[in-house]
C-alpha cells in the first residue's frame, strides 16, 4: 500500500480508502439505516439527529471493521446501539419519542415509506402501534419489516434466533390487537 505524505493511514487504511469505503457503505445502506432510526425513535426531527450520529459512529469505527460478518449487519448493529444510547440520553424529555406523525422522507434519503405500505391511514395506525412497543421490540419489528432473516436480527440485536421468532410472533400479535382497537 502506497503511503502519501498528506494521506493519513488508519490501521492500514488510508484516508482516501476510508472515504471511498464510507461513501459506498453510505450509498448502499442509508435508506435502511434511516428507517431503523425512525422505527427506534418515531420522531422525524430526532431521526435526522440520530441518523447523523449513526453515520459519525460508522465513520469513527470503519477502520475497526474486521469482516467477521457482513458489513450491513455491522452497520445495523451500530444503528441499534446508537439508537438505544440516544433514547437513554434523551429519555427525560416527555413523550419525545412517541410522536406519531407520518414519516415523509426528504430528497436526501429518497425512499418510499418505511413499511412499503401505500395506504396512508394504515401506515399511520401501524406507526402509532409500533411507537407504543418497548424499545427492543420496535427495533426487532423494524428489522423484520426490512425483510431481514431471523439470523440477521439475532446477530444485530444480540438474542438467540429462536427468541427472535418468539419475539416477532408476540410483536405481531400486539400490533394486530393494537391496530384492531384503533379501527
C-alpha cell belonging to residue 118: 401505500
Residue 109 CB partners (closer than 8 Å, separation 6+): 30, 31, 34
Q: Summarize pLDDT for 79-89 with one digit per residue, the tens.
A: 989 988 887 77
Beta bridge partners of residue 13, listed in sequence order: 10
* pLDDT over 50 (residue 69): yes
Q: What is the pTM for the complete model shown?
A: 0.66
Percent of residues, the chain, with pLDDT higher than 70: 75
Most confident of 32-41, 49-58, 105-114: 49-58
Q: Summarize pLDDT for 116-148 with one digit per residue, the tens.
A: 445 777 778 888 888 889 989 999 999 998 889
Amino acid at each position: 500500500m502506497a503511503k502519501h505524505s498528506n494521506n493519513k493511514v488508519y490501521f492500514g487504511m488510508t484516508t482516501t480508502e476510508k472515504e471511498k469505503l464510507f461513501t459506498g457503505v453510505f450509498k448502499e445502506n442509508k435508506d435502511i439505516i434511516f428507517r431503523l432510526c425512525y422505527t427506534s425513535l418515531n420522531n422525524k426531527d430526532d431521526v435526522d439527529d440520530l441518523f447523523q450520529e449513526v453515520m459519525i459512529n460508522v465513520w469513527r469505527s470503519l477502520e475497526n471493521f474486521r469482516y467477521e460478518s457482513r458489513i450491513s449487519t455491522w452497520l445495523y448493529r451500530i444503528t441499534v446501539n446508537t439508537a438505544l444510547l440516544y433514547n437513554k440520553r434523551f429519555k427525560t424529555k416527555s413523550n419525545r419519542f412517541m410522536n406519531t406523525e407520518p414519516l415523509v422522507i426528504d430528497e436526501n434519503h429518497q425512499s418510499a415509506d418505511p413499511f412499503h405500505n401505500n395506504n396512508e391511514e394504515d401506515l399511520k395506525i401501524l406507526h402509532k402501534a409500533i411507537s407504543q412497543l418497548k424499545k427492543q421490540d420496535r427495533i426487532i419489528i423494524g428489522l423484520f419489516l426490512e425483510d431481514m432473516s431471523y439470523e440477521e436480527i439475532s446477530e444485530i440485536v444480540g438474542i438467540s434466533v429462536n427468541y427472535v421468532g418468539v419475539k416477532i410472533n408476540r410483536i405481531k400479535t400486539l400490533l394486530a390487537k393494537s391496530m384492531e382497537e384503533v379501527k
